[in-house]
Copies of this chain bind each other. A is one copy, B any other.
Amino acid sequence: MQIGMVGLGRMGGNMSERLRAAGHEVVGFDNDPAKSDVADLKALVDALAAPRAVWVMVPHGSPTTATVHALAELLSPGDVVIDGGNSRWTDDLEHANHLGDRGIGFVDVGVSGGVWGRTNGYALMVGGADPDVERLMPIFTALKPEGEFGFVHAGGVGAGHFTKMVHNGIEYGLMQAYAEGYELLAASDVVTDVPAVIKSWRKGTVIQSWLLDLLDRALEADDDLSELRGYAQDSGEGRWTVEAAINHAVPLPVITAALFARFGSRQDDSPAMKVIAALRNQFGGHAVTS
């Protein structure tokens, strides 16, 4: 089928290629004219036959909201907008209302797969009304991995990004679990070949996973990770996961610890630990490092 794609960066560009390879017609627009098939959003809308489907794949927050609002002015009743970016699920409800007032449908899609998705397929977590989702199934089928997994219609509007948010929260916890185990192995004298341990775990163990495969891959290139700093960004979903948990009074010790470990990794010096040092100095005359 025919689809418009707004945002042709690493994700949007690769997804467009996967769609075209599956026989779909993709009309792409990006702020970079060199990547675009059309001059602007209006031209993109004009190039599509009604009822249109436009997939938005731009940074979350203001860029996504601006794109959705612009499309609301250009599209027609019966058209549908898909937000495949990393939007917060609460934004989806606002976007769906804004478009719904004009008779335009809205579907949110959490997309996983990173740079590997173009080849292996993208896992899709979808929220929206049944008719909207059904109509887009040819697109979803082309993007998802082969087989019975990698796609879910998780609920109404917002459910796609909520699901992706939780996915990323879990991802934080998984990564930190491996990271802690690695650090303990590296700290021990008794284990003499840590990269070989990681590699061996890839099959037959309870902890085998795709992330473990990637860790092995990273250690093949840099066997003690000496070329990296222990510094990690967080992309938003981890924070939102903890906030959602607080809202539902769900204890989330592991995922939160993983988030805080990232926060801590970005501090040159910790104000909290200065307080600890100050207090130790006050009550005990403990030597402090200054």
Contacts and interface: CB of A to CB of B under 8 A. Distances in A.
Given A150-B204, A208-B210, A265-B273, A127 B190 contact: yes
Interface in A212-235: 212, 214-215, 217-219, 222, 225, 227-234
A231 to B, nearest CB: 4
Interface string A28-67: 0000000000000000000000000000000000000000
Given A154-B197, A215-B278, A272 B170 contact: no
Nearest to A269: B230
Contacts of A274: 179, 225, 228-230
Given A192-B156, A248-B188, A253-B253, A210 B211 contact: no
Residue from A182, A183, A204 with most neighbouring chain B CB atoms (10 Å): A204
A21 interface: no
A243 B244 contact: no
Nearest to A187: B248
Interface string A11-25: 000000000000000
Given A254-B176, A263-B251, A272-B182, A231 B288 contact: yes
A264 B251 contact: yes
Given A159-B192, A173-B176, 10 more contacts: A114-B285, A123-B201, A123-B203, A156-B190, A177-B177, A183-B272, A215-B279, A225-B275, A229-B290, A261-B270
Q: Copy number of this protein in the oligomer?
A: 4
Nearest to A165: B184
A268 to B, nearest CB: 9
A91 interface: no
A277 to B, nearest CB: 5
Contacts of A260: 251-253, 256
Given A155-B193, A228-B278, A204 B170 contact: no
Interface stretch (A72-80, A98-106, A131-139, A141-149): A141-149
A61 to B, nearest CB: 14
